Structure 1
Amino acid sequence: MTDNILAVDQLHVSFQTHEGEVKAARGISFDLKKGETLAIVGESGSGKSVAAKSLLRVLPKQNSIIKQGEVLYDGKDLLKYSEKEMQKIRGSEISMVFQDPMTSLNPTMTIGKQIMEGLKKHQQMGKREALKEAKELLRLVGIPNAEERMKEHPHQFSGGMRQRVVIAIALACKPKVLIADEPTTALDVTIQAQILDLMKDLQKKTGTAIIIITHDLGVVANMAQRVAVMYAGEIIETGTADEIFFEPKHPYTWGLLLSMPKLYADRSVPLIPIAGTPPDLGQLPDGCPFAARCPHVMKVCHDFTPANTIISDTHTVSCWLEDERAPRVDRPHDVGGLIDERKSKTT
């Protein structure tokens, strides 16, 4: 008996453009356990948001296509659901918090009405019961004077407060899965910390499983139990947060860690960027998609796609350096900016 609430297997998603097919997600596989937080990390354009939106099937219908794969939620494939069936899943079973709360909220409706909307539709609550529950949700996410603020519109809230409202809406129907797509990117660092603490606290109270999409490894260190690293539409390394921070195997993961600032480092030491740019997903090269940027590239990397190597029960990586015939390459002594932070949270 598995404790997975969500299992994605070999998901392929493409977009049809004037310049041809863009393969935004290529063979993505991961699972999510009940009550845990999974972080999906990578540079902009790596396919993180496409993967997340595919789960709820909210990609633009005019040019996107899910070519193959399975998205099993409680054992049932969401990709086979009709649009009417998916409408019952969205919000009530799986909710999503988007990057910019201002574009997620209706500027013409009061905050109270927007929270009550989902409660009345999915929970079949009457107006009075929905109003009471909406007030309680605002209090739960830390908005003071909830009764008064229910009557206000989105423009009357700060960015951090709007994000709290969006989280309240997402949690209104007590979903089993919450997908948070860059939920703190538009916020300053103080408010970021408050929102992350809020999500962790709500998770403890509700038991909701969370998928957090981010390029910020600080968010990962603060939130996640497991991590999936994406590059050029593929998941190239997965592991527990400790495995990714302390024992990363892929040169791209090393690069992400090296490019992050250290908490206790000498500020005069420059950060080390990842050279080059990600490949064009409409004209992907043969072999490993990271080969052109990899400091340890071999001929085989340009010719053949690396196999997925199992490092442990929880850790996998797609890299030719893990082949027994590859030369030994030691990872950088200091693989990055957030190891100190992670240690401070686990000791």
Structure 2
Amino acid sequence: MAEPMLSVENLHVSFQTKDKEVRAVRGVNFSLNKGETLAIVGESGSGKSVTAKSIMRLLPKHNTKVKEGRIIYEGRDLLTASIRDIQKIRGSDISMVFQDPMTSLNPTMKIGKQIIEGLKTYQSISKQEGKTKAAEMLKLVGIPNAEERLDAYPHQFSGGMRQRVGIAMALACNPNLLIADEPTTALDVTIQAQILELMTDMQKKTGTAIILITHDLGVVANMADRIAVMYAGEIIEIGRAEEIFYKPQHPYTLGLLQSMPKPHTSRTVPLIPIPGTPPDLAKLERGCPFAPRCPHTMKVCHYFNPEMQHASGGHSVSCWLQDKRTPKENLPAGVGVV
């Protein structure tokens, strides 16, 4: 079996404030193959974006501490690589589409110049060649009158068009891996669908692997090959998309699914919210971090954090309900047994 393109191994990332340590990522493990789409889902504050920015080495240096772990990209540990090597990898090998394109695009610089600047950083091309390539990228992401729009500023584009520009910039140097951090959050439903369809089409044409970060399972339903569910800085369930949607093993995953609107059903299905709020990552208690919100908590959940239980097909879950010693009558409806 071929080695994965990217492997994140036992990653621990903390932020140090004046009087406390925020443990944002706690022992994250996953891998990504070439041409694959992995979705990382979870509530705000679960560690999704911190994990992504750790891969890109974009976290602030003054208060970030990678306490443990490795991020192996094509045989090289990105966490120990020099800044010069990381700068060569960013944009050319690994690119990122950020959540808010208005903050990731320079508002004082024309769109064409921003794309050309990225191209010239990694490729030996003339100004005219860069302009031609930039126009091709805008056409590729569905922006009409591409040659004319090269001279426009970010504020002259709608939110959806700015996100398309962000994708064009990220794909300009043909990266092997595209990290999309909540790329559709600020967009309406119609534009969301267009952006996701665009990313899928780009992947088919270029073979780029994608890590899609979102809090909305509905966004990834038709796009992801595998889904990793994060909670309190940990991956608590990971598996193929069909396994996560149709055979969820963790009560939190089930809660996310139950809180999704179901527009294709013929009857009205009430949404069931997950009670409580996510834990404070600076004040984590011992035991399972989801225990205070879980309707199926057992005594052991408050004292020990469960280990990841592996199943055939790559489906894994971290939950005491799946432990072999747990009586199966304790399992909630909708949650299966690994």
TM score, norm. by length of structure 1: 0.94
Contact 1:3 1:34 in 2 (8 A): no
Cα deviation code 1:2-28 (max 9, x no counterpart) = 241100000000000123100000000
1:198-217 matches, cutoff 5 A: 198-217=198-217
Q: Can you give the 5+ residue segments of structure 2 that lack an aligned partner in the other structure? A: none
After TM superposition, give the deviation of residue 128 of structure 1 in Å. 1.3
1:170-319 matches, cutoff 5 A: 170-265=170-265, 268-319=268-319
**Matched letter for residue 2 of structure 2:** T
After TM superposition, give the deviation of residue 114 of structure 1 in Å. 0.5
- Comparing 190-199 with 259-268, greater Cα deviation is found at 259-268
2:136 is aligned with 1:122 = no
Contact 1:24 1:50 in 2 (8 A): yes
1:320 match: 320
**Matched letter for residue 284 of structure 1:** L
Cα deviation code 1:128-180 (max 9, x no counterpart) = 11111111001000001001000110010010100000000000100000000
- Secondary structure of residue in 1 paired with 2:180: strand
After TM superposition, give the deviation of residue 60 of structure 1 in Å. 1.0
**Structure 1 residues 282 and 334: alpha-carbon distance in aligned structure 2, compared to 1, 3 A threshold:** closer
**Matched letter for residue 238 of structure 1:** I
Contact 2:254 2:334 in 1 (8 A): no
Following the alignment from structure 2 to structure 1, what is the Cα–Cα distance between the partners of residues 291 and 189? 34
After TM superposition, give the deviation of residue 267 of structure 1 in Å. 6.2
2:83 match: 83
Following the alignment from structure 1 to structure 2, what is the Cα–Cα distance between the partners of residues 60 and 305? 29
Following the alignment from structure 1 to structure 2, what is the Cα–Cα distance between the partners of residues 243 and 269? 22
1:53 match: 53
Contact 1:254 1:332 in 2 (8 A): no
Following the alignment from structure 2 to structure 1, what is the Cα–Cα distance between the partners of residues 18 and 269? 44
**Count of aligned pairs between the two proteins:** 335
After TM superposition, give the deviation of residue 85 of structure 1 in Å. 1.2
After TM superposition, give the deviation of residue 55 of structure 1 in Å. 0.3
Q: Can you give the 5+ residue segments of structure 1 that lack an aligned partner in the other structure? A: 336-347
Cα deviation code 1:304-323 (max 9, x no counterpart) = 11011012231000001111
1:140 match: 140
Contact 2:135 2:146 in 1 (8 A): yes
Cα deviation code 1:72-113 (max 9, x no counterpart) = 000110011111111111101000000001001001111000
Percent of aligned positions that are identical = 68
**Matched letter for residue 100 of structure 2:** D
Cα deviation code 1:284-307 (max 9, x no counterpart) = 110111011111101111111101
After TM superposition, give the deviation of residue 243 of structure 1 in Å. 0.3
2:105 match: 105
Alignment root-mean-square deviation, CA: 1.4
After TM superposition, give the deviation of residue 245 of structure 1 in Å. 0.3
Following the alignment from structure 1 to structure 2, what is the Cα–Cα distance between the partners of residues 127 and 333? 58
Cα deviation code 1:268-294 (max 9, x no counterpart) = 543111111111100111011101111
Contact 2:296 2:332 in 1 (8 A): no
**Matched letter for residue 210 of structure 2:** I
After TM superposition, give the deviation of residue 330 of structure 1 in Å. 4.1
- Secondary structure of residue in 2 paired with 1:59: coil
**Matched letter for residue 70 of structure 1:** R
- Secondary structure of residue in 2 paired with 1:239: strand
1:338 match: none
Contact 1:287 1:303 in 2 (8 A): yes
**Matched letter for residue 193 of structure 1:** A
Following the alignment from structure 1 to structure 2, what is the Cα–Cα distance between the partners of residues 229 and 312? 18
- Secondary structure of residue in 2 paired with 1:4: coil
- Comparing 133-142 with 1-10, greater Cα deviation is found at 1-10
Following the alignment from structure 1 to structure 2, what is the Cα–Cα distance between the partners of residues 263 and 193? 15
Contact 1:258 1:334 in 2 (8 A): no
Following the alignment from structure 2 to structure 1, what is the Cα–Cα distance between the partners of residues 207 and 201? 10
